[in-house]
A and B are shown apart, each in its own frame.
Chain A
Amino acid sequence: MVKSFIISASKANQLYWLGRYQERVYMTLHQFRKCYDQMIDGKPEDYQAFWDKLDVANCYSSNEDFTLGMLYDENNPSSILSALNRAMDNAILLREDIFTETLSYIELSISLMKKCKLENKVDITLLQYITDWSLAFWGSAEQRIYNSRILAIMMIGRHVEYLDMMMRYNYDFKRISLGYKMLKKYLKELPASVDSNIASQLDALLTEEAFDLSNDEYKQKLIKYINQMMRI
């Protein structure tokens, strides 16, 4: 059977956003765990530092409220369950490209999160399953997807999200420049999708000399460019 190696515009968009949301799940969990640990013996408003970095209005009143909201609030676009739902919205349309087994890791994650939500349960150890399944998702995708451009688009989405989150949470230059290198590797598969003007500005900003995330203007510029670099 002849299969198309051409990727439609809508499919490219879904692949990109699947990559982004799936990475958002992983990174949000990672940051959330750190915050959760801090809240155990910290101050009642400790969650705010975590929340402020996402550039969204604070809608929580306490650490407990924040914890439940970050995990399960489907109306909060930053929550883990929301990110999983959005990942699924894209993944479900891509079964033939990413395969049922890869898709199943998102199904498993949503199913567990919904079950915990129903029970109003906060068990931080259970969240390790979501992390494991997130990593399994990427392993399965790399193992099974044989169209390198399809994988590249997902990986571009993944690394854009990774960089966006690392910039928001003030990671160091070494981590961010490594992530940027990985992103560029995948962008080589789709040179026509890259905004070359933005790419060269990012190249100039992401040097050890220029790097300064304590400078808000610099930070916002980086986040903006990283999000606009890929034209999907």
Chain B
Amino acid sequence: MSININELTNSRDTVNRWMERFGVRFGVYKHGVFNEQLFPFDSVPRIIKHSDWEYLESGLKQRVTALNMFLWDIYHDKNIIKDGVVPEEFVYSSKGYMPECEGISPQGKIYSHISGIDLVEGKDDKWYVLEDNLRIPSGASYPMIARNVSRKVSPSTFASNAIADNRDYANLLRDMMDDMNDNRGIAVIYTPGRYNSAFFEHSYLAEKTGATLAYPGDLFVENDVVYYAGMFHEKTRVGCIYRRISDEYMDPMVFESSSLLGIPNIMQAYKAGNVALINGIGNGVADDKGIYYFVPKMVKYYLGEESILQNAPTYLPYFKEDYDYVIANIDKLVIKDVSEAGGYGVVFGSELSPEKLEELKQLVIKEPRRWIAQEVVEFKDLEIIEGEELVWRKADLRAFVVSSSKDVRVWRSGLTRFSRNPDSYVVNSSQGGGFKDTWVALED
């Protein structure tokens, strides 16, 4: 790889101006007020060596395949519980478990069509999975559009480096949606609307895939079939919905009855197999922070293979041995509330005062199932441009895996998010982080 850092540094502002021109933003609610802001782009890419990518790709395919098998099992035979691999408390007490999904059989047994797996590269050169996101993972559109702009701004950088083109993400989605749609009707991306934090992505992916962007009120169910309503009371059948609305708001007849965002009776259409929901409902049981601990065991159980990807060393206070360790070492561990997401509910014991640490300890003692604890993984820092100089910051990688009934494909790129603050491990955009493009080398 030959990277001209000066050229990339010089191009950063130009790329960000183009991103502004294209409206590349995300929304944040602060004190109940919605604000849109630009997602700061850093033009020095994360580069993944070809051999590393081959390893990651096979590991990600394996992991997501096992997670989809787990979801099928949980909503059907529950063999993994019966065989004592995953304790039933972790399944049934999970907020993501939806009893309403029992017995529903999505096409191709696929629940998580789009999986966002968060990884970090440790200082020991090993990759660790930090989190699985199987509900509505977001973020792929940012590196997609950033690459498109960067190629215009700095063509020589791309002429002199053999890297995978990541602008095919829309094709991956389109192929998967076509497979799930099965010629039943139109394909729709269903958004809660402009005031959703990821609205840019919803609209951009609709544009790039050719799907129809539908808003609450545009879709309705009649005789267990979903339709898109036209301005003259005409209707057209909907075959698949890439929904960007949380499970609990999807159907007010089944879940949250006050939801104005949902589609009444969509669950009936889903159950009848008349519409594909991407991702499926009830996936939260598999990306629960408590279930995360069991994913390598799932791989072994369903596929008979050792897990290729490693979890960060994790402890479940639910188990006596882990409980004792967590209580004794709480000041050194990262404690995560399993019910929180988006970087919230993550506490570093080392950053707490003795009083706060004691408070946290008491919470763990009171509700051990609510918490997981992890060793602090020393991430490899990445270079980012701060002003005119290069500085090192923590960064993670969200890899996207697209599953259909035909195959499982890993997008040859990903969203690299970095922390703007030195020493902070929290990289979420909602917490002020920025992003980088992720280059996958075509050869070592």
Contact = CB atoms under 8 A, between A and B. Distances in A.
Given A8-B230, A104-B22, A3 B187 contact: yes
A89 to B, nearest CB: 8
Given A1-B187, A4-B236, A6-B236, A103 B23 contact: yes
B219 to A, nearest CB: 9
Interface stretch (B104-112, B204-212, B290-298, B343-351): B204-212
A2 B187 contact: yes
Nearest to A89: B194
A232 B230 CA distance: 12
B158 interface: no
Given A1-B178, A6-B236, A95 B231 contact: no
Interface residues of B, number: 38
Which of A1, A92, A193 has most B Cβ within 10 Å? A1
Which of B203, B206, B212, B239 has most A Cβ within 10 Å? B212
A93 B215 contact: yes
A7 B236 CA distance: 10
A4 B207 contact: no
- Tell me if B's interface is mostly helix, strand, loop or mixed: mixed
Interface residues of A, number: 25
A74 interface: no
Nearest to B21: A104
A200 interface: no
A10 B174 CA distance: 25
Contact of B21 (A6, A107, A192): A107
Nearest to A6: B230
Contacts of B236: 4, 6
Contacts of B211: 1, 3, 96
Nearest to B187: A1
Interface in A58-102: 92-93, 95-96, 99-100
B181 interface: yes
Contacts of B239: 2
B218 interface: yes
Interface in B182-220: 183, 185-188, 193-194, 199, 203-204, 206-207, 209-215, 217-218
B228 A8 contact: yes
Contacts of B181: 1-2
B123 interface: no
Given A4-B236, A8-B229, 10 more contacts: A2-B185, A3-B211, A6-B235, A8-B214, A92-B23, A96-B213, A100-B23, A100-B204, A104-B21, A107-B21
Which 8 A-B pairs give the minimum distances between C-beta atoms? Answer: A6-B230, A96-B206, A95-B203, A96-B207, A9-B231, A12-B231, A4-B212, A4-B186
